[in-house]
Amino acid sequence: MKPIEFHINIELDNTLAAPLLAERTQLPLSQIKLAMKKGAVWLSDKNGINRIRRAKKSLAKGNSLHFYFDQTVLDTEIPLPKLISDEEDYSIWFKPRGVLCQGSKWGDHCTIHRWIESNDSKHRPAMIVHRLDRAACGLIVIAHSKQMIQNLSGLFKQRTIEKKYKAIVCGEFPNHVELIAINSEIDGRHACSKIKKLEYCPKKNLSLLEVHIETGRKHQIRRHLSEHGFPILGDRLYGGGNSVDLQLAAYFLSFKCPLTTHIKEFHLPRELQPSF
């Protein structure tokens, strides 16, 4: 079945969402309930437009339901995220390749924050503080309260969080004692990446790099390295081929903990980092 949208105006008070959708779409009620749980149903009311997940949600006259049905999206499964460190009001997770940081109108069950909310035994809200590309993997910070997301977002805006990545690139990257800085605008905005070669594999003609970023533009590391002549292995968008998955991982985070004011350091386990 091709993706299809349903937009339904509510004509009676106390209308139940799931039975109404089943009636109008001719889909089984069980399928409707699952689609709601996965974030494919939205409600327009006095509070704006928001996802609704409860099958027994009672609707008022004048509300509108929006159902974005794409069976391919709803059937998608993701690799399991892994908890690295639980700091109570926030936590550090490993985001595997293929896991999203942002959902769409068709669903949000493949996002890391929604997966955490659905599977965390502590039943806490989970909010994205920063993002990683879908194709990339690595450490990501999740906030569990509104106050904490404000605190952590402030650290990112102030650029007081140290982030390091590892990437395997095509070719032999130059040897330099100091970090090589790439300063070139991305989408008209300043962007700076600093790079150091860690290893070179002559047999495969690949280099393992450590990358520090001072800004967080979209696809910054991927674009900077490709423009510099060293696309990341597996980067289908920027010239790294498609023989393997994207070899880019956020492997280190350091910042002053908003709870304790102590400097915290988090490392991605070595077995999850890119290697030859």
Q: Give 141's contacts (C-beta < 8 A, 6+ positions apart).
A: 90, 91, 92, 129, 130, 152, 253
User: The CATH number of 162-251 is which of 3.40.50.2300, 3.65.10.10, 3.30.2350.10, 3.40.50.620?
Assistant: 3.30.2350.10
CATH match of 4-75 with 3.40.50.20: no
Domains 4-75 and 82-160 share a fold: no
pLDDT recorded at residue 29: 96
Domain ranges of the chain: 4-75, 82-160, 162-251
**pLDDT tens for each residue of 63-107:** 999 999 999 999 999 999 999 999 999 999 999 999 999 999 999
Annotated active-site residue 45? The verdict is no
pLDDT recorded at residue 272: 97
Catalytic residue among 70, 108, 133, 235: 133
List the 48-51 sheet strands across, edge first.
Answer: 4-9, 64-69, 41-45, 48-51
Q: Of the candidates 157, 24, 3, which has an alpha carbon nearest to the alpha carbon of residue 72?
A: 3
The tokens for 74 are 């709803």
The tokens for 204 are 């495969």
Q: Give 255's contacts (C-beta < 8 A, 6+ positions apart).
A: 155, 160, 161, 162, 263, 264
**pLDDT tens for each residue of 139-169:** 999 999 999 999 999 999 898 999 999 999 9
CATH class of 82-160: alpha beta
